[in-house]
Structure 1
Amino acid sequence: MRTAHRVETVRAAEAELMARLPEGTLMQRAAAGLAAACCSLLGKGRVYGARVVLLVGSGDNGGDTLYAGARLARRGAGVTAVLLGARVHEAGLAALRAAGGRVSDDPFEALAVADLVLDGITGIGGQGGLRPDAVPVARAARGSDAVVVAVDLPSGVSADTGEVGGEALAADATVTFGTYKPGLLIDPAREYAGAVRLVDIGLDATLPSVPDLEALQHEDVAWLLPAPAAESDKYRRGVVGVVAGSARYPGAAVLAVAGALRGGAGAVRYVGPAADAVIARHPETLVHEGPPGKAGRVQAWVVGPGLGDDPGVAEVLASDVPVLVDADGLRDLSPAAVRRRAAPTLLTPHAGEAAALLGVAREEVEDGRLAAVRELAARFGATVLLKGSTTLVADAEGHADGVSTPMSPVRVNPTGTSWLATAGSGDVLSGLAGSLLAAGLRPRDAASCAAYLHGLAARLASNGAPIAASDVATALPRAWADVVG
């Protein structure tokens, strides 16, 4: 599992570790890892004679950059530093000069012939985009033919939130130290980071056991996914009910059922007006004309995809089993209706639906995805899966035996492809997550595993080419097998 921590947490962990180590040890560890990553990016045999430009800001980030530059200079690279901060790390600058590096007063001349650029303009504490005087230099770096490597974090992005509040320097690769920072995993900042490499500097012993953000990997998902036992039957494996589709949108019901059938539950009950279309595509489905309360026993409900104005949301919310609410089910959904439920609720909005629920502009959600998903979870007292280029899953604060418990780490989904932005893909995801709920997973795990499998299935189905939502559903068994195999 990948974990990420806020700047405040990282700085506290660094301070605790530095108190135990000789002065400068942590910076040297970071510089060594950074230089090694640069050597790898330049390629075998290409370090000697390579032209490296260091964009150096103030403070420790600039120090890391200068010390890494000194290491590259000692290996024969021609290293030029461009000093952009109000102050400079004097020891790092001395080390660079001693190794044969130099300082240039003309950044544009140096950048025009650079093979590699180290972006050490701002560190993890930077906010609000690049300073105006750094913008032309950053543009020149990005416009050059050089490989741009961000030191710890691309300059101009927020480490804690993934927001980009102004101009930022997009990197081809980012070398980060000690732990991932949330901004490296969340859009829009993630798009500026390129390939991310983590350098171990010994922080594990001083970081808290609970991170601020986490991203599941194959082994994590495999451990969570349900597996039938020898004595299992279709009812013991769980039954998921799907209230979806309408005369206008029968395909939403078909796609939601397709996802549900491949999500681990033993049976799928469909309730709604698209029964003929569902049975035609998925004859194994148990159909009922409704209402949901008369359809038979289920262990979880999915309500909303393609529902239009058809009834069913209120009755499903009144049930005593976990409920997933998506699409049309989210329209006019009140926090009170969700909070008074005794059973868990999972909401799966995209950015537009999240904006409507929060009463803000869509751009505000897209620019601040982490804040939006946390606010939704807190306001509705529910688990929220916020779909998009970065899919996030957040739990609400819990209350057990009268004691308040903090929110769990937000989960960010690492799988997917831009080809997944296609009509109906969210319906497949809803059915899949609902089936995992019915199979017994907690909402946070059901949402996380569903997003992971959904994104992986899209990659497998696409292989770089356009796909339809039905292709994603068809590829889900392959994705599942890939994870557990």
Structure 2
Amino acid sequence: MIEAWSVADVRAAEEPLLAAGAPLMERAAFALATVVARDLARRRSVALPDGGRRDGRVTGARAVLLVGSGNNGGDTLHAGAYLARRGVEVLAVLTGEHAHPGGLAALRDAGGRVEVLVGSPDDASRADRPHDHLDAHVADRVASQVARADVVLDGLVGIGSRGPLRGVAGDLVARVSAVLDDGARAGLDGRAGLDGRPGPGIELRAGSGGRGRPWVVAVDAPSGIGVDDGTVPGPVLRADRTVTFGAAKPGLLLPPATHLAGRGAVVDIGLRLADRVRSEDGDAARPVVRRLEPADVAARWVVPGPTDHKYTRGVVGVVAGTSTYPGAAVLVTSAAVRAGAGMVRFRGPDDVTRAVLAARPEVVPAAGRVQSWVLGPGVPPVPGPDDEPAGDGGQHDRIGSALAAATGELAADVAGPRVPVVVDAGALSLLPERCPPSAVLTPHAGELATLLRSRGDDVTRADVEAEPLRWARRAHAATGATVLLKGSATVVVGPEGAWSQSDAPAWLATAGAGDVLAGILGTVLAAHSERVVHEPGLAAELAAVAAVVHGLAAERANPGGPVAALDVAGAVPAVVAELLAARSEGF
């Protein structure tokens, strides 16, 4: 499991170590240089006669360092010095006067070159001028140098920075990003040679290793992202790798910034946050956000034993679909069956029931006891006073009865104790004022904005997409329910914290994908039903489990290409089997 800690927590963990003279910068710089050298060697690999590949030589590679002031710039400069001693041609581009003196001296001593865009790094007599702007010709020249590099290190600002990149740094990142993105759009990506002229006066060609677009490494975090919340308020240079020190930072896991962070590498510099950081009341502090890895999912997946039967494995009740949208019911029930539910019960109009049974004859079209509910996919919201009546085929009434049972008010036609519930699509308009955490809401950004506006918040879909964690937290506070916010990265918020999963390919943005997720989640909740009702934080963790399986199934359904929702449901059994097999082999 990956745990991401706030900037304040990281700073609190660093303070006693710095006071004791721990060489944190040296540790960070050496680890950064080691990761960069390894990546360079792999990108410059050579083919072997047997068809395999051997790591290439680092000597002769070219590195450009984009360096700001402060310790983050010092980490970058010291790492550049290590690389220069290994034969890498290093150019440091400084965006201000106040480069880290020790790092600058180390780089120069190692033979690295330095170019200063504003002022002199050796003159500390005048303050930085953050509102200076970069001359267009200088920006073009630096962008050209970046384009010819094998690797670029982004060390412009540290994790304490707030707001968008401005001035010289902002201008530089905007120009470099435009050049590299133009090259990628022209088909000049990291797997092919870079030729052509993607911008005025800029020639993009292959790096000396012939591997195409330079490999971009962010130092601690991509400069310009919201390190604590994952926002992207201005220009950011998209990284292929982020090397972060001591612990992951929330912005590396949270959308939209997570899509700019590339592959992660957390290097240990001795912080031990879980041991060192304490809240004011003396309790151990919590990570801001967590991310499950495959081993975590396997550990939480319930495997039936020899004494289990269909009722003990988890019975999922589904109210989904209408005559207009019968496919949603087929997708939810198919996903629940394929995810391993002991039984799936379906309740809906006769024509929808027939469609479900034609696709999944295992489904039971009768009321009875369930261990979880999935409510609302393919059902329209309750119409407003000025809207036309909804053709819901009685589904709103069925959802209302099931919601009453799931949230603690037993209805006459629903037997058994309170159980977890997945609330999706049209069922969101039927929520009671307060819900237990065992109710998991699964809106996309537009649905979440609608839900929050109905409760007094002035928020749009664009607002939710820009700050997913903030608004998912707000929805959890407003309803009491666990909130799974669907998107390119899925954010889950419950009473014991947040999760962010980015396991799905972009191809999963397709009609019906959310219905499949709802069916998987209903099955996972049913398998843990009693615990979910009594352990407030468990629903959020299991929602993250379902999101991982959903994403992995989408990739397995057609690696690297388009997928249909029903194909995703069909890939779930193999994904679960692979996860469990790896667990049994000592994941």
TM-score by length of 2: 0.75
| Residue 265 (structure 1) shift | 2.8
In the aligned structure 1, how far is the partner of 2:522 from the partner of 2:425? 14
- Determine the C-alpha separation between the residues in 1 that align with 2:344 and 2:300: 21
1:412 is aligned, of 500, 503, 512, to 500
Give the Cα–Cα distance (whole angstroms) in 2 for the partners of residues 464 and 424 of structure 1. Answer: 19
Letter in 2 for 1:264: G
In structure 1, give the amino acid aligned to 2:425: A
Deviations 1:104-147 (A, max 9, x none): 13663543643322111011122222112223322444326432
Letter in 2 for 1:361: T
Partner Cα distance (1:255, 1:64) in 2: 50
Amino acid at match of 2:355: A
- Among 262, 269, 288, which residue is 2:338 paired with? 262
Tell whether 2:58 aligns with 1:47.
yes
Shift of 1:332: 5.6
Which of residues 333, 348, 355 in structure 1 aligns to 2:442?
348
Structure 1 counterpart of 2:150, which letter? D
The answer to whether the aligner puts 1:195 opposite 2:263 as a matched pair is yes
- Structure 2 residue aligned with 1:75: 86
Pair 1:52–1:451, CA change in 2 (3 A): same
2:96–2:116 contact (8 Å) kept in structure 1:
no
1:302 matches 2:374: yes
In the alignment, is residue 457 of structure 1 matched against residue 553 of structure 2? yes
Q: Distance in 2 between matches of 1:460 and 1:81?
A: 42
Mapped contact 2:244–2:267 kept (Cα < 8 A) = yes
Alpha-carbon distance, 1:454 to partner: 0.9
Report the Cα offset of residue 305 of structure 1.
Answer: 0.6
Q: Which residue is equivalent to 1:132?
A: 167
1:53 maps to amino acid? V
**Distance in 2 separating the partners of 1:112 and 1:324:** 48
Q: Among residues 476, 480, 483, which one is paired with 1:377 in the alignment?
A: 476
- State whether structure 2 residue 351 is matched by structure 1 residue 279: no
Q: Any conservation in 1 of the 2:419–2:438 contact (CA below 8 Å)?
A: yes
Give the alignment partner of residue 164 of structure 1, picking from 232, 256, 260.
232
Greater RCO (CA < 8 Å, at least 6 residues apart): 1
- Write the distance in 2 (CA, Å) between the matches of 1:187 and 1:86: 33
Matched with 1:403 is: none
Q: How does 1:18-37 map to 2 (within 5 A)?
A: 18-22=18-22, 25-37=23-35
Partner of 1:173: 241
Q: CA deviation at 1:478?
A: 0.5
Greater alpha carbon shift after TM alignment, 216-225 vs 99-108: 99-108
SS state of the match for residue 444, structure 1? Answer: helix
Look up the SS of the partner of 2:149 in the other structure. coil
Structure 2 counterpart of 1:155 = 223
**What amino acid is aligned across from residue 351 of structure 1 in structure 2?**
A
| Contact 2:499-2:541 at 8 Å conserved across structures | no
Whole-angstrom CA distance in 2 between matches of 1:429 and 1:40: 38
TM-score (norm 1): 0.91
Q: Which residue, out of 457, 462, 472, partners 1:363? A: 462
Paired residues, number: 462
**Alpha-carbon distance in structure 1 between the residues aligned to 2:323 and 2:478:** 33
Q: Distance in 2 between matches of 1:382 and 1:375?
A: 11
Amino acid at match of 2:424: D
Q: CA deviation at 1:262?
A: 2.5
Q: Residues 226 and 264 of structure 1 are in contact (CA less than 8 Å); yes or no, is this contact kept in structure 2?
A: no
Contact persistence 2:400–2:430 (CA under 8 A): no
Following TM superposition, by how much is the alpha carbon of 1:49 offset from its aligned partner in structure 2, in angstroms? 2.6
Choose 82-91 or 273-282, whichever is displaced more.
Answer: 82-91
Per mean C-alpha deviation after superposition, the further-off stretch among 247-256 and 313-322 is 313-322
Once residues 259 and 541 of structure 2 are traced to their aligned partners in structure 1, the CA distance between those partners, rounded to angstroms, is 26
The offset of 1:227, in angstroms, is 1.5
The structure having more radius of gyration, on CA atoms, is 2
Aligned-partner residue type, residue 304 of structure 1 = G
**CA–CA distance in 2 between the matches of 1:370 and 1:178?**
23
8 Å contact from structure 2 (residues 314, 343) kept in 1: yes
Describe the shift of the 1:16–1:105 C-alpha distance in structure 2 as closer, same or farther (beyond 3 A). closer
